[in-house]
Amino acid sequence: MKRDNNRVVFWLLTGCVLIFVMVVVGGITRLTHSGLSISNYKLISGTIPPMNDVEWQAAFDLYKQYPEYQKLNNQFTIQDFKDIYFWEWIHRVIGRFIGLVFLLPFLYFLFTKQLSKPTIKKAMILLILGAFQGFLGWYMVKSGLVDNPDVSHYRLAAHLTTAFLTFAYTFWVALDLIYPKKKAIHEQFRNLVRIGLVVLIIQIIYGAFVAGLDAGFIHNHWPMMSEGKFMHETVYIEQNPVYKNFIEGKSGVQFVHRILAYLVVVLIFGIWLKSKKISLTALQSQGISTLLIIVTIQFLLGVFTILLQVPVWLGVAHQIGAFFLLSAMTFTLHRFSK
């Protein structure tokens, strides 16, 4: 049987779709403040949710022992708890399912010798990334179960960014098999695309910072940042040392996220302009055109997300936009790689 065949490609692309679904559900989980509803971690038995009133009451009683209930949600009824429990539970179930989808077909392809040596090495990296992603999910939730009833925005960023990078690398491996021939072109232009990818990843990290700090609920004007209000208190930039304002302060983090948004738009527009001066293949041209379209949509989604104070549907749409933008950037860079 041919190695690196269409079945292998389908397996990798299925993984990409599932990671996409996982990130979307993760976004809903965060925006509905559901992430701390399941306080314990059971890899196997945790797949089955509470099945009767007794089990639901036990799960609710466990939730009551932690800061989120004690400091924020002590007015919750068991029905309120069920509502937030669902999103965290489905998020974890999808994560387990992704693990099986990556591992079991990999073992089958490996033992039936349908993978080339380079693909085996790349698949091993994917498995390591997937396992690390699962660990980061647990590590993130753990940070919200001690004193502060919210997860660390650093751990949230690590968890989300690893998911995006795992997707990008899975997509890249699939592209290696779909398009084994590459046309190297203009090192300077390729480097510009690389810079665009790096800045986009940093922007994704800052998007996670904004989500983790709830920084989207302040300065809800554009293009200027008005005086911020959060939980009926004025938000000031007053942390020392000053740099902490831009990694831990709500105002500073939103400011950096806005500036990076402008930078991503400028870089992609620059890539498009520069591409007009060189000879392109059809796929290279399509990749760059797609980048221009998606970054425009994503920028507008970001503006309206701020203006409307982060409604769940729009926050999720903005996260989906980031996913598609990363996909287009990965595809474009792949088409210009050696």
Rounded to whole angstroms, the Cα distance separating 247 from 205 reads: 10
3-state SS class at 42 = coil
The values of phi and psi at residue 172, to 5°, are: -65, -45
Mean pLDDT value across residues 270-275: 95
Q: How confident is the model at residue 43 (pLDDT cuts 50, 70, 90)?
A: confident
Query: Mean pLDDT, the chain, as a whole number?
Result: 90
Rounded to whole angstroms, the Cα distance separating 142 from 15 reads: 27
Question: Residue 317 has what pLDDT?
Answer: 95
pLDDT beyond 60 at 57: yes
Mean pLDDT value across residues 259-274: 96
Scored b (16 or more CB within 10 A) or e, 17-30 reads ebbbebbbbbbbbb
Task: Please identify which residue in the block is written with the tokens 């105002």.
Answer: 251
Flag the least confident range among 168-177, 183-192, 298-307: 183-192
DSSP string, 121-162: HHHHHHHHHHHHHHHHHHHHHHTTSSSSSS--HHHHHHHHHH
What predicted TM-score, i.e. pTM, was given to this entire model?
0.91
Question: Residue 285 has what pLDDT?
Answer: 93
Q: Do the beta carbons of residue 151 and residue 35 sit within 8 Å?
A: yes
Rounded to whole angstroms, the Cα distance separating 199 from 286 reads: 21
Question: Residue 296 has what pLDDT?
Answer: 97
Using alpha carbons, select from 17, 81, 18, 32 the residue that is nearest to residue 316: 32
pLDDT beyond 90 at 187: no
Longest dimension (CA), the chain: 69
Task: Please identify which residue in the block is written with the tokens 């001066």.
Answer: 277
DSSP string, 266-316: HHHHHHHHHHTTS---HHHHHHHHHHHHHHHHHHHHHHHHHHTT--HHHHH
Mean pLDDT value across residues 256-262: 97
pLDDT beyond 60 at 163: yes
Partners of 189 in the beta sheet?
none
pLDDT beyond 80 at 97: yes
Using alpha carbons, select from 58, 57, 62, 56 the residue that is nearest to residue 36: 62
The values of phi and psi at residue 228, to 5°, are: -85, 140
% the chain with pLDDT above 90:
73
Please give the single-letter amino acid code of residue 123: A
The beta strands (E) that lie in the chain are given as 228-230, 233-235
Mean pLDDT value across residues 6-34: 94
Handedness of CA 326, 332, 334, 337 (dihedral sign): negative
pLDDT beyond 80 at 226: no
Q: Where are the domains of the chain?
A: 1-180, 184-338
For 45, the token pair is 């038995």
